Structure 1
Amino acid sequence: MTNTLQLIFQLANEKSLTLSVMEPRENLTDAEVAAVMETIVTQNVFKRDEASIVAKKAARLISRNVKEFNIM
């Protein structure tokens, strides 16, 4: 199974910015994710189209099963 953590932020220009973290730690809590997102907002490190992140919007963990077939 492959897991991806998506952190979704609101930008100053009303658009959204999604940061994806591949294979996050298994036992993440809501509080840990919220704290990391708050740090990203306050540090103002990421921009998109010159617009800064202004707020947390959502976070989600996506799990995906992949089965590969041996075709050779």
Structure 2
Amino acid sequence: MTKTLEMVFRNAEGKEVTLSLADPKEDLTKAEVDTVMQQIVSRNIFITKAGELTQTVEARIRTRDAVALA
């Protein structure tokens, strides 16, 4: 099973942008993620084709199981 942290933001044009990080730590808290997301927005760390990130939307951990077929 693989896990991915997905952080969703809104950019200057109102479009959603998702930043994905593989293998987040097991004991990651919502408060930790919220803090990092706010820092990303306030420091303009990432800029998209449609402008800077202006707002946090949500964060989620996506899990995926892959099964090999023989």
- Fold match, TM over 0.5? yes
The whole-number CA distance in structure 2 between the counterparts of 1:2 and 1:50 is 30
Q: Which digits, 9 at most, give the CA deviation of each residue in 1:19-72, with x for residues without a partner? A: 000011011111001001011011101111150011101111001111224x4x
TM-score (norm 1): 0.89
- Is 2:37 the counterpart of 1:61? no
Uncovered stretches (5+) of structure 1, i.e. residues with no partner: none
Cα RMSD (Å) of the superposition? 1.1
Q: Which has the higher Rg, Structure 1 or Structure 2?
A: 1
Structure 2 counterpart of 1:11: 11
Contact 2:11 2:50 survives alignment (8 Å): no
What is the aligned-residue identity percentage?
A: 37
Structure 1 counterpart of 2:40: 40
Aligned length: 70
**Structure 1 outlier segments of 4+, above 3 Å:** none
2:2 aligned partner, one-letter code: T
TM-score (norm 2): 0.91
